[in-house]
Chains A and B, each alone.
Chain A
C-alpha cells in the first residue's frame, strides 16, 4: 500500500511539473518586457538603449526578448494571454502578427505620444495608413526606423555606357532597348514580394496620392479605372524586359541569385531596400560597381516621383500589463540619446536632424528625399477584418511571376485584383 502511495505521489509530482510551467511574477521590482525583431540592424543597439533607459530608471527591470523570428517566440504566450509590454515589429512579415493585431483592434492608442513628439518627428512618416491603420487620425503604431526603397542599380554600369538614369517611363523604354542590344536585361526582382517597393510608388506616380489611397482603401471599382489599367500596362511592359532567370530564382532559396544579377551587370534595375548594401557586401561584383538608388520614373516629365519608404513600427498591445511604463519607454526611444545609438547601427529614426547621423554609405540614399520632385510614400493596404482566402498583396505581387512566364494575361490580373479588392472593401465596411 505504501508503495502504491509512493507511486501515486511520484505521478502527481510528474504531472505537477508538466502543468506548473506558469511562473510567479514577483511584485517588488517592476518588469517591463520588450520584444523586438532582430533585423539587419543587429541586437546591440537595443541592449545599449535599454541600458541607457535603465540608468535613468533604477528599480525597473527591462527584459529584452529579441529574435529573427520574434513572432514565433511571443505568439504562443500571447495566445495564452501573456503579452509583452512593448513590441518593435513592422508590417509585411510572413507571420503577419502586427497585421493580425491591427485587424483585431488589439493595439493601444499611441496618439498622445505622437502629439507629445510633434516637434521632434519628421513630417510625412507619421499620419498615414502605416501608423494610423484605420485612417481615423489616431496613431496606433509609432514609426521606428525608416528607409527608402526603390529601384537599385549599378552606378558604374551607367557611367561606363554613358547612360543616364531614366526619369520618365519613355526614357526607361529607350534604355531598355539599348541595354537589350548589349545583352543586359532591364529589370529583375529578388522575389515577387519585393515588388511592394515598386508598385505603391507606381500607383501614386500614375494616378496621384489620392488614387494611391483609393487603391489602398479598396474604393469601389478602383481597379477598373484608366489609371489602374495604365499602371498594369506599364508593369506588364516592364516585366516583358525582365531577366529570363528571374522567375526561376524568385524563391526563398535562390533570391540572392537574382540580386547577384545586378552585381554581375546582367540586369539593370531591381526593387529593393537600403539593407541590400549590407546583405550583399561579401558578394563578388563587376569592376567599378557602386550601388545606386532611384525613385520610379515619372509618367510625364516633371511630375512627382515617389520613394516607397519602409517603416518599422513599435507598438503596445492593449493587453499589456504595464502600459504606462511602456509608453514612457516608447517616448524615450525618440530621445536624442536613443536616436544616436540607433543611427550608429544604420537604423535611422524619423526624427529631425537625423540626416547628419546617417552613415556615409547610406547618405546618398537618404539625400534623395531632398529633391523637391521626390516624395516619400508610406503605408500599404488598409486593414480590414480578415477575409478568408483573399490576400490582395499576393494577387498584386505574385502574379508578376505568371505574367513573365505567360501563364496569365494582364486582363486576368486586373480581374483578380478587382475581385480581391471588392471582397476586402465589403469586409471593411
Chain B
C-alpha cells in the first residue's frame, strides 16, 4: 500500500477531536490545579489573590494535613502489599492447581469490584458493627470477647478497618489480571521443571513470577493511583474522616479545605501535592522494578 497524498491530513483530522478533548478535559484542568494552588480564592468570587507559594508553606505547619498524608502513605503501602501478595497467591493457586469450583471462587472474589462504594460502605458497616456486627458477633460466639474492637470508633484501629475494605474491594480485580497473565505461560515450562524436580514454590518464583513481571509492574502503577482515589471514596462513605480526623486521607482533606472551609486555593495546593506524590511513587516503583524482560 502506498501513501496517497492527503492521507496524512486525513489522519491528522481524525486525531483532532481526541486531542482537543484530551487537552480540554485533562491537560487544561491539570494546569489549572497548578495555577490555582498559587492563589487565595474561595471558589466563587471574582476576587482571586496571588500568594505565590504561601499555600505550600502553610501546609507544612498544618498538623491535620500531615496526619492525612501519613494515613495515605500507610494505606498505600499496606493495601498495596497485601492486595498484590494475596492477588498473586490466589492467582497462582487458581491457575496452577486444579481446584474444584475454580470459576465460582473467581466469580465470588471478583464481585466486590463491580459493587459501588456506597454499597461496600454499607456492607462493612454491618461487618464492623460494634454490637452485632459480623466480626464482633463471631468473636463473641467463640468466647473471644477480649478481641472485640470498636472497628470504626477506635482511632488506632479505624485506618486498618478502612484498609481491609480496600483490599476486599480490589483483590478480585488484580487476581483476574494475574490469572490471565499466568495462563498464557506455556505448560511445557512447568512440565520440564517438574521433571527436574522443582516444587510448586520453586516454579512460582523461578517461572511464574519472572514471566508475569511486566504485568506486575503495570498493575503496581495502576494500584498506586487507584488506591489514592479509592481511599477517598471509602473514607467519605464509611467514616467521614473521623473519629476526630483520625482516618482523614489526602483527598478527603483536600475536599474539606476546598469546599467546606472555602479555601479553594489551599485545596488545590493539596491537589498539587497529591499529583506530585502519586507521580513520584509511580516513577519510583517503575524504576525499582525495572528488569530485563524474560520471554518464552
Please report A residues at the B interface, Cβ cutoff 8 Å: 1, 4, 7-8, 11, 14-15, 18, 75, 78-79, 94-96, 99-101, 103-106, 191-192, 245-254, 257, 386-391, 394, 398-402, 405, 407-408
Contacts and interface: CB of A to CB of B under 8 A. Distances in A.
B42 A386 contact: yes
A76 B188 CA distance: 59
A169 B153 CA distance: 28
A78 B42 CA distance: 12
Contacts of A8: 13
Contacts of A407: 155, 244, 246
Contact of A388 (B122, B237, B257): B257
Interface in B159-185: none
Interface of B: 6, 9-10, 13-14, 16-17, 20-21, 40, 42-45, 47, 55, 58-59, 61-62, 64-65, 121-122, 125, 129-131, 150-155, 236-240, 242-246, 256-257, 259-263, 265-266
Given A96-B262, A386-B42, A251 B129 contact: no
A1 B130 CA distance: 72
Contact of B243 (A11, A103, A247): A247
B125 A95 contact: no
A104 B45 contact: yes
Nearest to B269: A388
Kindly name the residue among A14, A251, A405 whose own CB sees the greatest number of chain B CB atoms within 10 A. A251
Contacts of A75: 43-44
Contact of A7 (B13, B64, B242): B13
A162 B150 CA distance: 34
Contacts of A386: 40, 42, 261-263, 266
A245 B243 contact: no
Given A4-B9, A388-B266, A79 B44 contact: yes
Contacts of A252: 236-240
Given A100-B259, A402-B243, 6 more contacts: A7-B10, A8-B13, A103-B42, A248-B153, A252-B240, A388-B58
Given A79-B43, A388-B266, A251 B239 contact: yes
Given A253-B121, A253-B237, A103 B13 contact: no
Contact of B262 (A94, A100, A250, A394): A100
A24 B245 CA distance: 46
B6 A4 contact: yes
Given A101-B44, A251-B152, A94 B13 contact: no
A97 to B, nearest CB: 8
A252 B131 CA distance: 17
Contacts of A394: 245
A247 to B, nearest CB: 4
Nearest to B47: A104
Nearest to B65: A389
**Chain A interface secondary structure, helix, strand, loop or mixed?**
helix
Contacts of A248: 130, 150-154
A8 B14 CA distance: 9
Contacts of A79: 43-44
In order of increasing CB-CB distance, the 10 nearest A-B pairs are A248-B153, A401-B243, A104-B45, A388-B266, A248-B150, A247-B153, A253-B125, A389-B62, A100-B262, A386-B262
Contacts of A245: 130-131, 150, 153
B244 A401 contact: yes
Contacts of B246: 407
B260 A94 contact: yes
19 contacts: A11-B13, A11-B16, A79-B43, A94-B259, A96-B261, A100-B43, A100-B259, A103-B42, A248-B130, A251-B242, A251-B243, A252-B239, A252-B240, A253-B238, A386-B40, A388-B40, A389-B261, A390-B261, A407-B244
A31 B282 CA distance: 51
Contacts of B55: 388
Given A388-B257, A398-B245, A405-B153, A106 B238 contact: no
A248 B261 CA distance: 25
A191 B58 CA distance: 29
Contacts of B45: 104-106
Kindly name the residue among B6, B42, B155, B246 whose own CB sees the greatest number of chain A CB atoms within 10 A. B42
B43 A389 contact: no
B267 to A, nearest CB: 9
A145 B37 CA distance: 38
Given A248-B150, A388-B55, A407-B155, A398 B262 contact: no
A96 B153 contact: no
